[in-house]
Structure 1
Amino acid sequence: MENMLEVKNLSISFGGLRAVSEFDMNIGKGQLYGLIGPNGAGKTTIFNLLTGVYKPDEGIVKLDGQDITGKKTIDINKAGIARTFQNIRLFSQMSVLDNVKVGLHNHYHYNTLEGILRLPRYRKVEKEMNERAMELLKVFDLEKDAEYLASNLPYGQQRKLEIARALATDPKLLLLDEPAAGMNPNETKELMETISFVREHFNMTILLIEHDMKLVSGICEELTVLNFGKVLAQGPTAEVLNDPQVITAYLGE
């Protein structure tokens, strides 16, 4: 299997404290991969390194063979990494449709003058963006809510909208940061189905940070477990979750 993401020897320190140390991870194209670990293990720091929020002190990150180490967030997004956040970051006072259209601006362009004067090119591009955004909303059964304010959607639907907006950037790799946070069991079950569907429908490679072990064991093929910024275990999900070191790290025994 070809790798979509290759991470080698990734390290970063903050004020002398080593937050992530010599982190390695390979994710194959089309894989649904999990990154887990106790609170404070460094998982979100790794997402921030992968997306250009932080620049690593050492190490290499390659996306589909392209070296993206230390690039700016916008350039990494254009290269093909999109993410969601543990705390939903929608444009709450914009419509559901417009939230998705924000994600489309990587691929649809008109200049300021064309926009102000609403010239034919502006109208053509806006029509194409509306059509593409509605296609994405249909995938998540949100098309009927297109004109609603994003803040008026139920929590589970806001999560779906955030994923739809990330997919609008046409990524190669989708990073999901604790998507089940704050969800009840029914919403979590629906989310599992949504993530699996996204992977199949878009032939998407997905990396997931999650604390809900039922969700992780239900959909992730392989896992990396992080503890104090270092890899504790790595491999097929069932094997990793049965590793005594992993059980100890989680239960604190």
Structure 2
Amino acid sequence: MAMLEVKNLGISFGGLKAVDDFSMTIEKGQLYGLIGPNGAGKTTIFNLLTGVYKPTAGRVFLDGQDITGKNTIDINRAGIARTFQNIRLFAELSVLDNVKAGLHNHYPYSTLSGVLRLPSYRRQEKAMDDKAMEILKVFGLDGEFDYKASNLPYGKQRKLEIARALATEPKLLLLDEPAAGMNPNETAELMETIRFVRDHFDMTILLIEHDMKLVSGICEKLTVLNFGHMLAEGPTAEVLNNHDVIVAYLGE
């Protein structure tokens, strides 16, 4: 069974079809890329998959479960987490607390136990601290657990955002232009991080990206979007050599 099945998805804004008849299948454990020119509809699709927008047509299935039209919280609980092109960390919170923010659905305690600092609260806090540190260690951020998130270098903020998303224990991780604003060294390190996340967490990953070096280096399969329509799909090398893709996207 596929991890994600998107069937004939569409959405219109004021009569304009931003995405029309879009279909895509991503297998479990796959590292998949969604590419296309600016304004092609890529982020709109991410917003449809995560419940920010509700589709006007089509269905979305996550690991066999129909999640079409559900809200963002329910979709996150079903198993989709995302990062954003513009980093959205809790800038004034510590690195540790940013990751703990992603753990709360899995470590519930009552308001009363929290207010009174009861033993059940302290146990849950200790468990969250331990789990958050375990995740931070994977990303090499455990030595900076008490830093303010805003004080991390840009590349490490990107890593922290991925770490926080993983703390929600997703089945599918959506990365929205993870290399945006990175220098070549940071991008190379990010590529290794994404590969490691896929392998270490047995994760399925869908990413939007404009950096073709990153896309060709890590994505096993691509879908190309143009003006809200699918232009091409298939193995990465094959798609990047497709004449229509070169004309529409690479500008040659």
Same fold (TM over 0.5): yes
Q: Which runs of 4+ in 1 moved over 2 A?
A: none
Return closer, same or farther for 1:241/1:64 CA change in 2, 3 Å cut-off: same
1:184 corresponds in structure 2 to: 183
TM-score (norm 2): 0.99
Asked if residue 94 in structure 1 is aligned to residue 93 in structure 2, the reply is yes
* 1:17 shift after superposition: 0.5
Percent identical pairs in the alignment equals 79
Q: How far apart are the structure 2 equivalents of 1:219 and 1:251?
A: 18
* 1:250 shift after superposition: 1.5
1:69 corresponds in structure 2 to: 68
Q: Is the partner of 2:113 in helix, strand or coil?
A: helix
Q: How far apart are the structure 1 equivalents of 2:225 and 2:56?
A: 18
Q: How far apart are the structure 1 equivalents of 2:251 and 2:119?
A: 63
Q: How far apart are the structure 1 equivalents of 2:240 and 2:229?
A: 17
* 1:251 shift after superposition: 3.8
1:134 corresponds in structure 2 to: 133
1:12-47 deviation line (CA, Å, top 9, x unaligned): 000111000000000000000000000000000000
Asked if residue 32 in structure 1 is aligned to residue 31 in structure 2, the reply is yes
* 1:137 shift after superposition: 0.2
For these two proteins, the number of residue pairs brought into alignment is 252
1:7 corresponds in structure 2 to: 6
Q: How far apart are the structure 2 equivalents of 1:135 and 1:211?
A: 31
Q: How far apart are the structure 2 equivalents of 1:202 and 1:103?
A: 16
Q: Provide structure 2 residue ranges, at least 5 long, that are not aligned to the other structure.
A: none
* 1:192 shift after superposition: 0.2
Return closer, same or farther for 1:53/1:211 CA change in 2, 3 Å cut-off: same
* 1:48 shift after superposition: 0.1
Asked if residue 207 in structure 1 is aligned to residue 213 in structure 2, the reply is no
* 1:195 shift after superposition: 0.1
Q: How far apart are the structure 2 equivalents of 1:37 and 1:148?
A: 37
1:110-158 deviation line (CA, Å, top 9, x unaligned): 1111001000000000000000000000000000000000000000000
Q: How far apart are the structure 2 equivalents of 1:171 and 1:27?
A: 15
* 1:252 shift after superposition: 4.2
2:194 corresponds in structure 1 to: 195
Counterparts of residues 1-253 of structure 1 (less than 5 Å): 2-252=1-251
What RMSD, in angstroms, separates the aligned Cα atoms of the two structures? 0.6
TM-score (norm 1): 0.99
